[in-house]
Every structure is written in C-alpha cells, then in structure tokens.
Structure 1
Amino acid sequence: MKKLFFLLSVLCLSQVLFAQSTSVRFMTSKGNITIMLYDETPKHRDMFLKEVKKGSYKNALFNRVIKDFVSQGGELDDTILNREKRDPKKLAPRFAAELKPNLFHKKGTLGAGRDDNPEKASYFTQIYLVAGKKQSDAQLDALEKKKNRKIPAAQREVYKTLGGTPHLDGDYTLFGEITEGMEVADAINSVAADKNDVPLNPVVFNVVVLPKKR
C-alpha cells in the first residue's frame, strides 16, 4: 500500500511536466542534463532563456558544490557583491521571486540563487541544481515545527523516497527540473571540492535551448 501511495504521489506531482513548453540542455564536462522549465514561473523561465541567449551560461562553471545539498553554477555571491561594493551606484538588479507552493525542492529541481534580500528576489546569473538527501518523518516533522508550515503529504513522500532540500521551500524560486541525466547531476555533486566548496577540477557547462516538440 505504501509503495502504491508513493507511485500515485509521483504521478500526481509529475503532471506538471505535461504542461511545460520549454526544455534546455546543460552540456557539462560530466555529460548532458536535460531540464524542463516550469511554465508556472514564467518570469524566471523567460529571464533564464534571455540570459542563455546573451551568453551568460557559455563556458560557465559549477563553482560551488556541496555534496547532498546543491550544485551551484554561474556567478558566485562574492563576485556579484564585491562588484556592487566597488560601485554602489551600479547594484546588480534582483529578479522578483515567484514562489509557488506546488513547486518544491525535490532532488533534481533547478532554482535561482540569491543573497539575503528580504524580498527573496533572485540573481539573474546564478542557478543551482538540488541534490539533497532522503528525509525521515522525524526530520520533516521538526522542519514543519521550525517553519510553522505543513508539508503536503505527496511532497513529504517524495522527500522521504527521492530526497531533496525541504528547508529551502518558500525561500528560493524554482523554475525547472531534470528530465534526463540525473546521474550526471549526481556525478557533479560528488566531485572533490576545497574548503570553500569549489571543485578541485573545474566543472564547465554550456546551456542550449532545445527545439519545442510538436
């Protein structure tokens, strides 16, 4: 019965994929990853596609890799913030958050990085892939109490069986998820890194937009 409930939960949660219109491919030095962008967060989808077209993700790096948490790519926080500090009149723009309760930080989701701004607005040129790990009922219960919110049953089951980073829910915008190449994402998240979480051997990636299926 528990296995059946999980399969039904995943089927329900996967329905979001059928309505999506755009996919991209991350061509990395570890292999390719295909990601379906969410139509539920259209502003982030279109912002990301615009940055791809501009070349912001050409020969980019996964430059902060934290095992069982996230693999972050694009510009680092320090790079952006130091540039702003040098010229406060040229603050990097932030992109208004699109937080959706049905989009949650399960393993394989694509999110937009940000600083600690109270509006939870995103950077234009920083992304992350969720790795995370499987959660226990006790861990999820503690998180519910800490954040004073209820985790829906279907999401809870996915966190217990697939894994993710549930404590990020409601704080960072998600705008896509992996449909092919999860093993490549796992390989990236497993690379050796230094004390600052920078990979010892660079993990390079390029992003291309895939033709829409007819």
Structure 2
Amino acid sequence: MTHPLFRHAEFYITVNQLQGLPPATGIEVAFAGRSNAGKSSAINTLVGRTRFAFVSKMPGRTQHINFFKLAEGRFMVDLPGYGYAQVPQAIREHWVHLLSSYLKTRQSLYGMVLIMDIRHPLTKLDLQMLDWFSQTGKPVHVLLTKADKLSKTRAREVLNEVRQFLSANYPHCTAQTFSSLKVEGVDEASELLQGWFDAGQAAAGGGEQQ
C-alpha cells in the first residue's frame, strides 16, 4: 500500500537550466544516483506507480531535473543520472554544473536520497556526489538498491560496511537496503522522507509553504 506521502504525487515541471528552476518556496528532497543504479525504479516503487518516473533504456540520457509534487509545498526532485552516459563532453560538463549548483545552492532543498546499486556501492562518482553535498551540511539517505540480487546475509554485510564507511567519513548520512523488484525497504524509506518533509516545513514556519 502506498504511503500517504505519495498518494497524490504528480509531475510538476522539468528544467535543463538553473534559471528555469521554480521558485524555492517549498521543501524539496533530491534523488540522485549513478546511471543504471535503479533511481527511476526506486521512485516508481515509492510512489506505487510503474511508469511514474521514466525508466530509460539508455541510462544517462536524461538531461533534465524533474520535479514531482507530493502535496502543497512538498517536492521530489529527480536529478540526472551520472556516469556511463555516451554523451558529448560539453553536455557532461553542463550536467556537472547543473547538479553541483543545484545541490550546493538550492535553499529549499532539505536533503538528498542517493541511489547506489548494492553490488557496486560507493563508486568514485558516488563519493564525488557526497563530497559536493556534504558542504551543505544537509542529510543524505543512501538507498542500496537491487538488494534482491544478493543473498540476505550478503546484503546485510554490504549494508553494515557502507554504514561504517559513512559514519567515519560522512556522519550526516544514513543507509538502508532497497528492492524495487520485491518491494522491500519501501516503508523505511517512506517514513524517513515523511520525517524530512515534516522537519523541513516546521523549520520553514509550519505548513504555510505553497
């Protein structure tokens, strides 16, 4: 059953330039991850709709920041996947500028959900993303996706390894396992996001955001 947070989720706007961003008047949570790590599938699973976020057959081709409205003043922000994209260098540099500028300067951004394939966590690009975002002091929650690809024992081992690394290097980060295929980890992630949005709106002065 879909968590109430996502019950009325709908597409809001897509942008490809910083000047195209909507006014920073709500509370936003960004979703980021390496191409092919399962970001779109994770969003679809949380929302409970198969094609809510587009799952590209060519990972890394999505070049836009997509905003999804959850409720008044609450937004999920789907960032372009990074890595592996067969794209010109100029476009790649544009993505880097767009991503880093949004993550570092967006006032309405409360935190980031970072998607990692549990079989290949903490890649160089993942660490770069953590380095960018850690400068803001905002929280990060890591979803170790495709947990169904490993045994439960191995998945728990990887989770513990990732948590230990994050605790030592990025103490503002938390982590969990997640499987879109088996719909596992959805409740844990949904409750965490509910808490983030509630805390963000409380800090912004209650539920007055539009």
Q: TM-score, normalised by structure 2?
A: 0.30
Larger Rg: 1
Q: Which of 1 and 2 has higher RCO (CA within 8 Å, sep 6+)? A: 1
